[in-house]
Every structure is written in C-alpha cells, then in structure tokens.
C-alpha cells in the first residue's frame, strides 16, 4: 500500500509540490482546496501526465477533507501570498484563520501524520498548527531552512563558479530577513567557503539570501516564489516517507535548545519517519549566538501578535 500525502492549497506551491511528488513517485496525492474545480482540474491534469512520465500513483483533487483521511504527511501551503511591500507579519491575521481552519479539519482524520507547514509567517503558523492539532512537537515541522539554504547555496555556487551539488551550507533562525546564515559551517567540497569567496562578497551573498523571497516577490510583482519552495517541501516529504534521516535546517519546536523555549525556530534537525527525530545544537560563537537571539526576538514578536488576536 502506497503512502498518502495531502496537500492543502492548490495554488502554485501546492500544485508544484504535487508535481514533484508524482515525478519522484513518492505517494498517492490528495490536493485539497476550498475553491471548487481548481484542485480537481489540476489533479486530473497531473494524473494524465502519468503515462508519459511513467508514475503509477493516484492523484485526486477535492474540496472535501474526508478524502484526506489516513494521510502519512499533511502539507499546508494554503494562505495569502506576500505582495510587494508586505512583510510576513502582515499576513498573520489572514493566514492564521486559514491555518486554524485547515488543521482543525485535516489533523483529526490523519492522527498519525507528520504536518509540514509552508505558509507564512512560517514559524508562527507552525506554532499555531501544533496548538490546533494537538500533535506532539516532533510531528509538526516548518519548511523554511531547506528553501533558505538552497538560495544561499545557489548564490555561493554562482559566485565561486562551482557545482551547486558541492556546496553544503547551514543556516538558522526565523524564516525571513532575520534568518542567520552560518558561513563558518559552509563548505564547498568539504573546503571552507572562505577559501573561495572573500569576506565582503560572502557578506553580500548572506544579505541576498536573507532577502531571497522578497527579491522574487518584487520581480514577479503579482505573486511569490513557488518552484524552489515546493522542491524544498518535497525534500522534506521524501525524508519522512522514506525515513532518510536527512540532516537539514527546519523550523522545529524548541524547549531549551540554543537557550530558546516555546518557539518554532529554524535549526538543524534529523528528519525521518518520526518527523523531527533530533535537534542538533551547533557550538555557536558569541557573534552567531547574538544573531540567533535577534532572530528569535522577531519570531517571538510574531507569535505574540498571533496570541493577541
């Protein structure tokens, strides 16, 4: 019996995530959305690609959460996109209502699922999803660090003139302008990145990575990124379904790690069938810890805004 993945939200990120899952032949897919016809049409279109691409799995679109029952993974992409000039915090009120609604409907039908949160503000929506679902902390995780590190790794590879496959990078923090890239833990083929890129150029890359989502929003003008976010999401889905024990940065619930409590925050984790199976605590220096604390304050502010609603 194949695994089953529910994707809530049939927009660009949701439907492209379904595409990646089908292409990798990871699981049967349920694409659910409140708009009648959109999930059904996109699911049918993707299913009709199966004879060409050779994937044998079921893809359905629906407006009924009953169809999601028994899912192994629930991916939440549903929410308002960020528009030019809009911060992630501007999205709290809109997306909190959406997240609360979809989690309250999907979680009881799939009580053993791992929930992957993709909508923004990411860390805050993951916090809300854990509260609404009642799931243990390891089975509610936010997709942020995989995307942010992919952008960071891309920029480094372009600057150094090397393959993106050979760039390994780690970052931490809230998803957004306060994320914390860690050049000290960044290598190219096992060699410190500082051997390839001068400090001033590396700092410019770090700054661009922090603002990566906003850069795309400003270019598109009427939307936000979806290819890389969906690919990042599916890397996490694959890690769970295939119990790959991937060491990747994700938004996880912290209870004392890095001196932080009662917060979802981007940290390196081991991601497998149990969700977040381990949180890895890196030996940060004083400067890095200061950046982590600054990022944590931004996330706490967002969570406080959520609680005040």
Query: Which residues are tagged catalytic?
Result: 175
Q: Are 149 and 168 in contact (CB under 8 A)?
A: no
Burial 99-138 (b: 16+ CB within 10 A, else e): beebbeebbebbeebbbbbbbbbbbbbbbbbbebbebebb
Q: Can you name the residues that pair with 8 across neighbouring β-strands?
A: 32, 76
Strands across the sheet containing 167-168: 167-168, 187-188, 191-192
CA triplet 271, 262, 117: central angle to 5 degrees?
45
């Amino acid at each position: 019996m194949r695994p089953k993945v529910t994707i809530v939200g049939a927009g660009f990120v949701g439907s492209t995530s379904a595409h990646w899952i089908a292409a990798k032949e990871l699981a049967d897919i349920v694409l659910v959305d409140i708009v009648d016809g959109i999930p059904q049409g996109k699911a049918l279109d993707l299913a009709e690609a199966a004879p060409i691409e050779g994937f044998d799995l079921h893809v359905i679109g629906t407006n009924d959460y009953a169809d999601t029952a028994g899912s192994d993974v629930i991916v939440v992409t549903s929410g308002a996109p960020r528009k030019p000039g809009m911060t992630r915090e501007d999205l709290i009120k809109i997306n909190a209502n959406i997240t609360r609604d979809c989690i309250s409907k999907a979680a009881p039908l799939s009580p053993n699922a791992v929930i992957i949160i993709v909508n923004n503000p990411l860390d805050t929506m993951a916090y809300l999803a854990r509260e609404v679902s009642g799931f243990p902390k390891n089975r509610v995780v936010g997709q942020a660090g995989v995307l942010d590190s992919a952008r960071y790794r891309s920029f480094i590879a372009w600057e150094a003139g090397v393959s993106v496959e050979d760039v390994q990078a780690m970052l931490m923090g809230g998803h957004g302008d306060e994320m914390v890239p860690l050049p000290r833990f960044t290598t190219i083929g096992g060699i410190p990145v500082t051997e390839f890129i001068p400090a001033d150029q590396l700092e410019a890359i770090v700054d661009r990575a922090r603002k990566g989502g906003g850069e795309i929003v400003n270019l598109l003008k009427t939307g936000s990124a979806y290819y890389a976010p969906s690919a990042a999401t599916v890397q996490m889905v694959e890690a769970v379904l295939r119990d790959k024990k991937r060491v990747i940065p994700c938004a996880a619930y912290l209870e004392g790690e890095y001196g932080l409590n009662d917060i979802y925050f981007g940290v390196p984790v081991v991601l497998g069938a149990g969700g977040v199976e381990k949180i890895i605590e890196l030996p940060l220096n004083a400067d890095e810890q200061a950046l982590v604390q600054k990022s944590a304050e931004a996330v706490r502010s967002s969570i406080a805004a959520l609680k005040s609603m």
